[in-house]
Every structure is written in structure tokens, then in C-alpha cells.
Structure 1
Amino acid sequence: METLTTTKNEILSAYQFRHATKEFDSSKKISDSDFQFILETGRLSPSSFGFEPWRFVVVQSQEIREKLHPYAWGAQKQLTTSSHFVLILSRLPKDMVADSDYIQGMLKNVQKLPAEVVVGKGSVYDNFLKLEFGLQENERAMFEWGCRQTYLALGNMMTAAAQIGIDSCPMEGFNKEKIEHILAEEGIMDAEHFGISCMVAFGYRLNEPRAKTRQTTDQVIQWV
């Protein structure tokens, strides 16, 4: 019981530690092993139907960071000071429909399901997209649904980082079209299959943050 209590306290301490770090100490770098650990928590994150619509692009090139800088108003200091900067991409709708090569490949080659289960799960998924969630007729809704799943990986990576004393900052403050154009032009992103979901910077804080503010438990939790 004591070990369990200690673990709970350590996890809550990580949540108290984590904040949206606006500026990092550029002289401090995350070790390769620590950053691989952070990335692994993203890779192992859950996704709807287990279809993993994400790709994590680690941007360590200063040249690429400088090209992104004018179009990422929410990442001005993070791009220039963070130890590691990650772009999280999401699959485009054509890859996420039930009969796409990507989904069929996930069912057969990654999840390694028997043929009859591939057909059954594919049918359930197709029904989910078309009828239950009504996504497939709206391309933007389909893309945003994939993006919502990338946020599960984003949250897990930031929490894992906080648990080992590493700071982070998630960002949506960017011009999607301009950033995607740069990524495609540089050969970083295949624009036929991916779009950008969000950005996240990692490193070590330069300044101490102000006290964390949140609504009270009673304001955000309802029991019925």
C-alpha cells in the first residue's frame, strides 16, 4: 500500500510540475535515452480501433526550424530554445476509410488478425465512420477525428516527460497551410497522406512558472 501511495504521489507531482513552457534553457539538452523514452510513450499510446493515425516528426535541423518560425506564431521562443521540437502529423481521410490500403495493412500486417476478423472489424469500422459517428461524408471532420487521437499520444508524451523532470509545451498556434507547404516542399511530409495536427516542444525551463491554476473538483466532475 505504501508503494502504491508513493506511485500516486509521484504521478500527481508530475502533473503539478508540468506547465506550458514558453521559453527553454537552450544550453540544456535532453539525452538520447530520455527522448527515446518520451517518443516510445507516444508510439505505445491508444488510438481508435488501434489504427495509429499519427506520425511524429522530430525537427532538430535549425534550418528547418527557421523556415517554420515565421508561420508558427505560438512557437516563437519554443522553436529557437527547445532541446527537441516535434511535429505531430495525422493521416488524411483517404487513408482512414475502411477499404484503404493503410487500414487494410493495419488490420492484416500490424494487428495480424485472421482473415474473417479483418472482414468483421472492417465492417464494424465502416459502419462507425458512415453511420454511428457520421464522419466519412465530411473530410474536415474525418481529419479532425484523426487529430483528436494524436492528442492522446501528445498528452502521454508530455506526462512521461514531466515524470522524469523534462518540460514541454503543446502548440496549435501556427498557419496550417503554410507549415504543410514547407514540410511538403522539404520532403518531410507526404501531403498525399498526412496533414499537421499539432506541435510540441521539449526541454528544460528557463524560468519558473507561476502557480498552476485549475477549476475546482466540483466544477469539473459530475457524479450521477
Structure 2
Amino acid sequence: MQTLALTQQQEEILSAYRFRHATKEFDSSRVVPERDFRFILETGRLSPSSFGFEPWKFVVVQNPEIREKLRAHAWGAQKQLSTASHFVLILARLPQDMMADSAYIQHMMQDVHELPEEVIAGRGKVYDQFLKVDFALAHNERAMFEWGCRQTYLALGNMMTAAAQIGVDSCPIEGFDKARIEQVLTEEGIMDPEHFGISVMAAFGYRLNEPRPKSRQSSEEIIQWV
């Protein structure tokens, strides 16, 4: 297959992807400037979600004591929690909030999307059909929660890519005890367990060590044209 020359902008974007790696330990002496981190958070806020219902919340944990409590139950974040400039918990909404007739979904359509009542009624029916028939999620609470979590990964990916484009390192983290982390967040008054559960963690900062060369499968192995 012929290789096409890339534009300068395309090369810059791919350079950011090559730069990004799962940073295991950060330089704790360096702090991401507030303007840069707010930019990273904004790319998460502006990320797409199914039906535009944004089933997420971003919790930035800077308190050292709370980080230490989290570290006791996050085996995959031992070095990141103690060295990252910024540490983010991405929460996902629970099934009851994501049902078509829930107060949250009605709030999204009425107050955020500002849809007319007749459009809300029609959109609600389509969404209800999607949950109950098309994706068959409504009768499986775990599937419903995981569907919300999948959407949070769209925001996570955008945040990590945006960070890489401005020279900030990151690390997505799933290595934790979900129940115990949620218990800590509930006891600290950070998370309302009636509406949210934890989806994923992410650390941001500046690398302490250079990573090994990036390894990926070839395009021929993972891309199929039909």
C-alpha cells in the first residue's frame, strides 16, 4: 500500500501519540500549571457521550491524606498517587440515573439540551427503546453501569491525548479495589453512592524516567478494509 505524506499538523498529532505512555512514576517536584490542567479537564468535559447524556464526573484529588487513603486500595497506582502533579478519579452514573424517566435524564434534556417538550417526549421514547431493546441494557444493572463506564473512557482518552499534545504525561489506572475505593470516597463525602460509582483513575504530571520504545502491532495486523 502506498504511503501518503502527512501534513505538518498530522505529524504533530502523531508525535503526541508517540510521546504519550503510561507513566508509572512522575517527577514530584514538577507541577502542571493551572491553565494547562484546566485545558486538559475541558477536553474531558467537551467529550462525546451516548445521546449526549454525559454520565460522568471528574474528581481531582490533590489532598495528600486522601491520596494516601486511596493508595491503600489501589495497587496499580502506588507510585502515581504519591508523585503525580494531578490525580483524577472519573466517576460513572449508576443505572437508576441513566433510565429514560430518571430525574437526571430529564434534567439533561430540559435544562442542558434545552429541548422542546415534544422533542423530549420523542427522544425519551427512542432512548428507552435503545436501553430496553437495541442494546438490552435496562434489565442488567452491571451492564448498564459498564455502559456508562465505557463512555467515560472517551473523555479519558481525549484528556490523555490533549495532555500529550502540550507535553504533559499521564497514566490510566484500573488497578484498584472498586468497592473499597468507593467506600473511601463515600466516607470522605466525595462521592454520593446513590448516584455514582468509580470507573477509572488517571494520573497527570511529568515523567521521572524516559520510557522504553513504544510497541504496537502493525497496521496490517489490526486494520481490515472491506
TM interval, short-chain normalised? over 0.9
Matched, 1:98 2:104: no
The residue identity in structure 2 corresponding to 1:105 is H
SS in 2 for 1:86: strand
For 1:219, the equivalent position in structure 2 comes to: 221
Matches within 5 A, 1:71-86: 71-86=73-88
CA distance, structure 2, for counterparts of residue 98 and residue 54 of structure 1? 17
CA distance in 1, matches of 2:215, 2:165: 20
Partner letter of residue 116 of structure 1? Answer: E
Letter in 1 for 2:32: I
Q: Shift of residue 6 of structure 1?
A: 1.1
> Partner residue of 1:194?
196
Deviation of 1:81 (Å): 0.3
Structure 2 equivalent of residue 130 of structure 1: 132
Amino acid at match of 2:51: F
1:36 maps to what in 2? Answer: 38
Unaligned stretches of 5+ in structure 2? Answer: 1-5
One of 139, 142, 145 as aligned partner of 2:144:
142
Which residue is equivalent to 1:7? 9
**Within the alignment, does 1:18 sit opposite 2:54 as a pair?**
no
Residue 159 of structure 2 corresponds to: 157
Secondary structure of the residue aligned to 1:71 is coil
- Identify the match of residue 168 of structure 1 among 167, 170, 179: 170
Task: Name the CA distance, whole Å, in 2 between partners of 1:221 and 1:87.
Answer: 32
Task: Using structure 2 for the length normalisation, give the TM-score.
Answer: 0.97
1:179 matched residue in structure 2: 181
Structure 1 ranges of 4+ moved more than 6 A: none
